[in-house]
Amino acid sequence: EDQVTQSPEALRLQEGESSSLNCSYTVSGLRGLFWYRQDPGKGPEFLFTLYSAGEEKEKERLKATLTKKESFLHITAPKPEDSATYLCAVQEDTGFQKLVFGTGTRLLVSP
Protein backbone atom coordinates (compact mmCIF):
# COMPACT_ATOMS: atom_id res chain seq x y z
CA GLU A 1 0.00 0.00 0.00
CA ASP A 2 1.36 3.40 -1.00
CA GLN A 3 2.02 5.64 1.97
CA VAL A 4 1.96 8.84 -0.09
CA THR A 5 -0.46 9.50 -2.96
CA GLN A 6 -0.45 12.70 -4.98
CA SER A 7 -3.14 14.05 -7.26
CA PRO A 8 -3.58 15.02 -9.93
CA GLU A 9 -0.69 13.36 -11.80
CA ALA A 10 -0.53 16.32 -14.15
CA LEU A 11 -2.09 19.77 -14.16
CA ARG A 12 -2.12 22.38 -16.87
CA LEU A 13 -2.99 25.95 -15.84
CA GLN A 14 -3.15 29.28 -17.57
CA GLU A 15 -0.98 31.99 -16.09
CA GLY A 16 -2.90 33.54 -13.19
CA GLU A 17 -5.24 30.55 -12.78
CA SER A 18 -4.99 29.44 -9.14
CA SER A 19 -5.30 25.79 -8.13
CA SER A 20 -4.32 23.21 -5.50
CA LEU A 21 -2.30 20.03 -5.48
CA ASN A 22 -3.17 17.22 -3.08
CA CYS A 23 -1.00 14.84 -1.08
CA SER A 24 -2.69 12.08 0.92
CA TYR A 25 -0.62 10.08 3.36
CA THR A 26 -0.97 7.11 5.67
CA VAL A 27 1.59 6.73 8.43
CA SER A 28 1.28 5.58 12.00
CA GLY A 29 3.02 8.69 13.29
CA LEU A 30 4.09 11.72 11.28
CA ARG A 31 7.35 13.42 12.07
CA GLY A 32 7.08 15.79 9.14
CA LEU A 33 5.60 16.29 5.68
CA PHE A 34 7.77 17.87 3.03
CA TRP A 35 7.05 19.61 -0.25
CA TYR A 36 9.75 19.75 -2.89
CA ARG A 37 9.94 21.19 -6.37
CA GLN A 38 11.78 19.21 -9.03
CA ASP A 39 12.80 20.59 -12.40
CA PRO A 40 13.63 18.15 -15.24
CA GLY A 41 17.01 16.47 -14.74
CA LYS A 42 17.54 18.13 -11.35
CA GLY A 43 17.36 17.13 -7.72
CA PRO A 44 14.39 17.97 -5.50
CA GLU A 45 14.48 21.53 -4.17
CA PHE A 46 13.11 22.02 -0.66
CA LEU A 47 10.00 24.18 -0.32
CA PHE A 48 8.27 23.51 3.02
CA THR A 49 8.13 21.25 6.05
CA LEU A 50 4.87 20.87 7.96
CA TYR A 51 4.82 19.17 11.33
CA SER A 52 1.29 19.13 12.68
CA ALA A 53 -2.34 19.36 11.57
CA GLY A 54 -3.49 22.93 11.10
CA GLU A 55 -0.06 24.23 10.23
CA GLU A 56 0.34 26.49 7.18
CA LYS A 57 3.42 27.86 5.45
CA GLU A 58 3.77 30.33 2.60
CA LYS A 59 6.44 31.25 0.12
CA GLU A 60 5.70 33.70 -2.68
CA ARG A 61 2.79 32.21 -4.66
CA LEU A 62 2.81 28.89 -2.79
CA LYS A 63 0.99 27.98 0.40
CA ALA A 64 1.11 24.56 2.04
CA THR A 65 -1.44 23.28 4.53
CA LEU A 66 -1.67 20.08 6.56
CA THR A 67 -4.47 17.99 8.04
CA LYS A 68 -4.24 14.61 9.75
CA LYS A 69 -4.63 12.78 6.44
CA GLU A 70 -3.54 15.13 3.67
CA SER A 71 -1.66 18.20 2.64
CA PHE A 72 -2.47 20.77 -0.01
CA LEU A 73 -0.13 22.94 -1.99
CA HIS A 74 -2.07 26.00 -3.12
CA ILE A 75 -0.67 27.94 -6.05
CA THR A 76 -2.02 31.47 -6.35
CA ALA A 77 -1.79 33.32 -9.68
CA PRO A 78 0.90 31.00 -11.06
CA LYS A 79 3.50 32.10 -13.57
CA PRO A 80 5.19 29.99 -16.29
CA GLU A 81 8.30 29.73 -14.09
CA ASP A 82 6.24 27.76 -11.57
CA SER A 83 6.13 24.90 -14.08
CA ALA A 84 7.81 21.88 -12.46
CA THR A 85 7.01 18.61 -10.74
CA TYR A 86 5.92 19.09 -7.15
CA LEU A 87 6.80 16.24 -4.82
CA CYS A 88 5.33 15.41 -1.45
CA ALA A 89 7.24 13.25 1.04
CA VAL A 90 6.67 12.08 4.61
CA GLN A 91 9.02 11.19 7.38
CA GLU A 92 7.61 8.79 9.96
CA ASP A 93 8.04 9.17 13.66
CA THR A 94 9.88 5.85 13.93
CA GLY A 95 13.38 7.03 14.73
CA PHE A 96 14.50 6.71 11.12
CA GLN A 97 15.35 9.57 8.82
CA LYS A 98 14.21 8.34 5.41
CA LEU A 99 11.69 10.24 3.34
CA VAL A 100 8.91 8.38 1.51
CA PHE A 101 7.94 10.21 -1.66
CA GLY A 102 4.80 10.35 -3.73
CA THR A 103 4.91 10.18 -7.51
CA GLY A 104 4.51 13.92 -7.86
CA THR A 105 2.27 16.33 -9.75
CA ARG A 106 3.61 17.70 -13.04
CA LEU A 107 2.50 21.32 -13.29
CA LEU A 108 2.57 23.22 -16.57
CA VAL A 109 1.67 26.91 -16.52
CA SER A 110 1.04 28.43 -19.92
CA PRO A 111 1.45 32.17 -20.61
Partner 1 sequence: EPEVTQTPSHQVTQMGQEVILRCVPISNHLYFYWYRQILGQKVEFLVSFYNNEISEKSEIFDDQFSVERPDGSNFTLKIRSTKLEDSAMYFCASSESGTAYGYTFGSGTRLTVV
Residues lying near partner 1 in the complex (CB under 8 A) = 31-32, 34, 36, 41-46, 49, 51, 87, 89, 91, 96-104
Q: Which is nearer to partner 1, 75 or 87 (CB)?
A: 87
Q: Which is nearer to partner 1, 78 or 102 (CB)?
A: 102
The CB-of-19 to partner 1 minimum distance in angstroms stands at: 22
Quick check: 77 and 16 in contact, CB under 8 A? yes
Selection from 106, 105, 100, 107 nearest residue 4 by Cα? 100
Quick check: 86 and 105 in contact, CB under 8 A? yes
The CB-of-9 to partner 1 minimum distance in angstroms stands at: 11
Q: Which is nearer to partner 1, 32 or 76 (CB)?
A: 32
Q: Which is nearer to partner 1, 43 or 54 (CB)?
A: 43
E strand spans, the chain? 4-7, 10-14, 19-25, 30-38, 45-50, 56-59, 62-66, 70-75, 84-92, 100-101, 105-110
The CB-of-62 to partner 1 minimum distance in angstroms stands at: 14
The CB-of-16 to partner 1 minimum distance in angstroms stands at: 29
